[in-house]
Chain A
C-alpha cells in the first residue's frame, strides 16, 4: 500500500510540471499581455508601458519566466498579481474561501437530496414518481446554471415588488450591516445568501448522481447475495441499507476525490450572476486582463488538487471495497 502511495506521489511531479507548463505556454501564446489594455490610453506614455513590462518580467523569454516561477513556487510563492500588485495567494485565497462555502453547501445538498432520490427511484422503477423525478432532474441538467439563477433573481424582484420583501436575498454574500452582527448571526446571514445559488448549482449535478444511484441500487438488488439475504429472512430495511447500499455507493465514493479541484474552482457563472464574490469573477477578470500569475496559480492549485483528489479517491475505494487492494 505504501509503495503504491509513493509511486503515485512520484507520478505527481511530471504531471504537475506538464500541466503548469502547458498552462503557462498556452496563456502566453495568446497575443498581447497584461499591459496591452493600456496601449490605447492617451494618458500613458509607451515608455511607461515598456518599463512596467520589464518590471513584471514579461519581456523575458518564456522558458525563463516559467523556470523563475517554478523556483519561486518551491518557496511557496505563486508570483505577483499584476492587477492587485500583491502575492497571488493573498489575492486568490479569500475568494477560494467564499467559493468553498457555496460549493461545499451545494455538495451537501447534492448528497442529501441525490442519494435518497436515487434509492427511491430504484425501488419504484418505471412508475410515475420515477418519471417525474427523472424529468425534473433532467430539466435541472438542461437549463444553464447562470440562466436559472437569472430567472430566480427576476422572480425575486417580482416578489419584492408584489410583497415588499423577499424570502431570499437578491444576490450577494452578506447583508447590509453585516459587520455589526455577532459571529453566529454572520454565519446565518452567509448561509441564507448561499442557499439559492447552492440550490442552482445542485440542479445541474442532480440528474447525474440520481441516475448513477438508481442504476447501482437496481443492479445490486438483482444480485444473488441479495436474494440470499432476503431468503434467510432479513428485514427489507437491513437488506437495503446494510447489504445493497454499501455496494451501490462504491462508484460514488470513488468519485469524491474528483470533486476536490471543483471545491476551489468555484461554482462558475452562477457566482457572477448571483454576485457571489467567489473565485470565478476573479478568474474571469484575470483571464480578460491576462493577469498571468493569477491564472497559472489557479490552474496550478486545481491541478494539484485534482491529482491529490484522484489518489484520495483510489484510497477511499480500497477502504470501502474489500475486493480492491493496491500492491
Chain B
C-alpha cells in the first residue's frame, strides 16, 4: 500500500559506460557561471573566527566545523534546492513515503565512493546513526533524532535501500533523514571494540590527515593549530557529481579556511587578497571594502543587505511574579505588551544599532524565511500615541510628580530591564527603549548583568522568577517548521515568558496545539497554512516583543567565480555552492 510520492525530475540518472555511477548533476541555475565556462584547478581561501575543535563528526559541536566543511554542512540522502527550498534527492536517487507518512524509504545512489575508494552503502548510514544515538558519545545530532521523547529509527533493507521510521509524521522528516554518512569501515571496528570511548578518541586535530575519510568534495590535507585547515579535492566525488556539461566536480583543487580570532585581521586579509571571501558585519567593514574597490586596489564583488540574518533580538516579560501581583498582572496583559511594542522605535534600532543594515521584526518567524511570513499577522509598530492610549485603557491615566504614569491605586508604571553586560548592541537597544518609554511616562530601570546570570534567570522555573523584562536573542529556526520545539509548548524550557509549567492564557494553549499540528504535517502547503494561523495567534498574544535583526552581507574576490545568482544569495543559502566555484583569474 505504498505510493511513490515524487521523483524529482531535476536529477538525471544515467549509467555511464563502464562505471556504474549514478550521477548527480549540479544545476547551472545554482551558479552565475555559464555552462562550460569553468576550468578545473585553483584554490578558495575562506575564513572562520573560531578555531576548529576536532575533525571528529560525532563530537563536533560548533558551526563551521571541519566535518561540516567536508560535507557541505552535513548534506546527505537529501538536500534542498536553493532556488525553491524544496528537498531533492542527493545521495539517494529517489524515495517513497508510506501512506501514513511515518516511513520514508530511500534508494541510495549507486557508485558513490569514500575518499579512500571504498564504496558507500547503507551500512555507512546505519553505523553513523548508531554512533550518533549513543548517549555516551555525546553527539550534538542525537537530539535531532527524537520527536518528543521517541526516537526516529533507521533500518537497512538492502545494501542500497534504507528506511527511516518516525514515531509520527514530522515536518522535519527530510531534515532528519538528510543525515550525512561517515565511513563504517573506519568507525565501525573501533566502535564495536571500544565503544563510545573509542569513538571519542578518534579524529582529533592532531590526527594524521591521511586517515580522514569523507564522501564530500574535499578532504583534509593539513591542519595547523589556530591557523588554517587545508582541504584537497576528493577525486572520487567527481565520479558521481558533474556539472551540466558532464565535467567532474569540484572544479577547485584546494579549499582552505583560515582562522582569524579578530575580525579586523580577517578584513585586512581580504583587502590584501589573502582570503577570497568576507562577510562584513558593520558599516565600517563595508565602507573599507567599497573604498578599496573604488580606488582600484581590490577587484571584488560586494553584496550589501543581501538578506536578513536568521537571528532576532526581543524583549520578554516575566509572567511568573507571585511576589509582586501588580507587575504580574501587568506583564500577563497582552494589552500592556502591545503598548510596549508600540513604544519600540525599530527604525531607530536599525539605524543606530545596525548602522541602517538591519531589518525590523514583529514576530518569531525570521524575515529571511519569506515563504513562511504571514503578511497579515497583527503588528504593533512604533506609535507612542497608541501606546499611551493602550496604557490609559489599562488604568494608567495620571502622572506623578516625577512625570511617570500611575494607576488609580497610585502604583507607578515602572519595571526593570536587563540584558547581558558587554553586548553593545543589546545595550544600545535598551537605551533606545528606555528613552522612548520615558517620553510617555513609563519608567524602565536598565541594568545589564552577566550573561550566565541572565541565562539562569531566564531559565528559572516556577511561579516566582527573579526578573521583570530581559532583552535577549535566539538564532536558528528551520525552513521546514520555523517555530521552536523548545519555545512554543508551555512546558518547554525556552518558553521564556511563562515557566510555571502550565499554559496561563488560552492563546498559549492554542499556539501549542497549532505547533504540534504543524510539526506533524508532512505536506508543505498545509503546514504553511498552519504556520500562518500560528503567527496570527502569536501576534495577538505578543508573548515576546520582537525588535530587529542584522542583515547578511558578503564580498568576494573576483579571481573566483561561480557564485550564486543574486536571488539566492542569503543568510540561509550562502553565496556559493562549493563544488561549482572555480578560479577565473
Q: Which residues of A contact B (CB under 8 A)?
A: 30-33, 36, 39-46, 48, 51-52, 55, 83-86, 90, 94-95, 98, 150, 153-154, 156-157, 160-161, 166, 170-174, 176, 178-179, 272-275, 277-278, 281-282, 284-285, 290
Contact = CB atoms under 8 A, between A and B. Distances in A.
Interface stretch (B344-352, B399-407, B484-492, B557-565): B484-492
Interface string B289-305: 00010010100000000
A42 B487 contact: yes
23 contacts: A32-B451, A32-B456, A40-B458, A42-B474, A42-B486, A42-B487, A43-B144, A55-B136, A84-B205, A94-B226, A161-B292, A170-B265, A170-B272, A179-B222, A273-B264, A275-B259, A275-B260, A277-B224, A277-B227, A277-B259, A281-B261, A284-B261, A290-B452
Interface string B446-477: 00001111011011000000000000101011
A197 B205 CA distance: 26
Contacts of A95: 225-226
B224 A178 contact: yes
Nearest to B449: A31
Contacts of A42: 474, 476-477, 484-487, 494
Interface stretch (B29-37, B50-58, B371-379): B50-58
B143 A179 contact: no
B295 A161 contact: yes
A33 B135 CA distance: 21
A273 B204 CA distance: 27
B532 interface: no
A282 B226 contact: yes
Nearest to B146: A45
Contact of B269 (A171, A178, A273, A290): A171
Contacts of A44: 140, 143, 486
Contacts of A153: 264-265, 268
A179 B230 contact: yes
B135 to A, nearest CB: 6
A51 B200 contact: no
A98 B226 contact: yes
A161 B294 CA distance: 12
Interface in B235-271: 256, 258-262, 264-265, 268-269, 271
Contacts of A161: 271-272, 292, 295, 297
Contacts of B101: none
Contact of A171 (B59, B256, B265, B486): B265
Contacts of B230: 179
B83 interface: no
A176 B54 CA distance: 22
Contacts of B456: 31-32, 36
Contacts of A36: 451-452, 455-456
A94 B136 CA distance: 28
A317 to B, nearest CB: 37
B142 interface: yes
Contacts of B493: 39, 45-46
Contacts of B50: 285
A57 B60 CA distance: 20
B206 interface: yes
Contacts of B459: 39
Contacts of A83: 53
A171 to B, nearest CB: 5
Given A40-B474, A170-B272, A94 B225 contact: yes
B143 A45 contact: yes
A57 B102 CA distance: 38
A89 to B, nearest CB: 12
B138 interface: yes
Contacts of A85: 53-54, 56, 59, 138, 200, 204
B259 to A, nearest CB: 7
B314 to A, nearest CB: 12
A277 B222 CA distance: 16
Given A52-B138, A160-B272, A281-B261, 4 more contacts: A42-B474, A95-B225, A166-B272, A275-B265
A2 B224 CA distance: 44
B99 interface: no
B275 to A, nearest CB: 10
Contacts of A33: 452
Given A40-B458, A40-B494, A157-B272, A45 B204 contact: no
B482 to A, nearest CB: 10
A32 B204 CA distance: 27
Closest 4 CB pairs of A and B: A277-B226, A32-B452, A42-B484, A31-B452
B274 interface: yes
Contacts of B268: 153-154, 156-157, 170-171
A171 B226 CA distance: 13
A77 B221 CA distance: 30
A150 B267 CA distance: 12
B220 to A, nearest CB: 12
A189 B576 CA distance: 33
A99 B355 CA distance: 38
Nearest to B256: A176
Given A40-B494, A42-B487, A48-B143, A157 B200 contact: no
A86 B54 contact: yes
Contact of A170 (B143, B256, B262, B269): B269
A40 B452 contact: no
A143 to B, nearest CB: 17
Contacts of A157: 268, 271-272
Given A51-B135, A153-B268, A172-B227, A86 B204 contact: yes
Contacts of B221: 179
B54 A84 contact: yes
A31 B259 contact: no
Contacts of B452: 30-33, 36, 290
A48 B271 contact: no
B58 to A, nearest CB: 10
B455 A39 contact: yes
A43 B476 contact: yes
Contacts of B51: 277, 281-282, 285
B316 to A, nearest CB: 11
A150 B264 contact: yes
Contacts of A173: 224, 227
Contacts of A41: 476
B138 A55 contact: yes
A166 to B, nearest CB: 8
Contacts of B476: 41-43
Contacts of B271: 157, 161
Interface string B178-200: 00000000000000000000001
A277 B225 CA distance: 7
Interface in B52-106: 53-54, 56, 59
Nearest to B494: A42
A44 B484 CA distance: 11
A316 B292 CA distance: 55
A20 to B, nearest CB: 23
Nearest to A269: B262
Contacts of B258: 172
B262 A275 contact: yes
B134 to A, nearest CB: 12
Nearest to B226: A277
A51 B494 CA distance: 18
B199 to A, nearest CB: 11
